[in-house]
Structure 1
Amino acid sequence: MDASLGLVRPGGRFVELGKADVRDPGEVAAAYDGVMYRAFDLAEVAPERLGEMLREVVGLFRAGALELLPRQEWDVRRAGEAFALMSRAKHVGKLVLSVPSIPGASPSEG
């Protein structure tokens, strides 16, 4: 959490979705140059509002205001290598394991 908060620009915003290490917003602002912190629980949001938020985020991606994180795909048979890379924090973005399709199988079967 501290490493992530340290990446936020002064006066920036940090939204905590995991809530494993919830912090006091005042303490975060004092320790991280005015960073606004909020722990957010999706269960507290009405379904209609959640839909509005999702549409807004999709619109930001479509407009180019947001970009997807970089992604590296690894064949599941190389999962050990992917996890080793992740354990050393040598990656940026997401590591994804893929499962090879079965030759001759329909997409729903493989």
Structure 2
Amino acid sequence: MEKQLYYVNLNPISMDDISPIRVNDGQLIEYEIEATSLEKKELEKLLREVQAHDVELGNLFTFRHFDDQEGDRDKNEYQRGLNDVFEELYRLGTEETKAKIREIHLINDDQ
């Protein structure tokens, strides 16, 4: 399959929106990737899963957010998801994207 150039932003509101067009918003960090349509779909799925854990509506209407252990589990699960996202962005990323991710130390170089 042929790879295409896409742009990914991790804005919580539009995290799962992978676009073939650069947004050019100075407030937004975009990661440039090269992916097949299947790789793009898999990344979109991963982004949706992470976004779903960011604010789980069920927690807003219960007392779960007062439970420190439950809150820590939610935070850890969200962080694991973000780590997976950055690993995938690094794998699919252009050299510029890989340099950005290395620069902010969001990938484990020990692998």
TM over 0.5: no
Structure number with greater Rg is 1
Higher helix share: 2
TM-score w.r.t. the length of structure 1 is: 0.20
* TM-score normalised by length of structure 2: 0.20
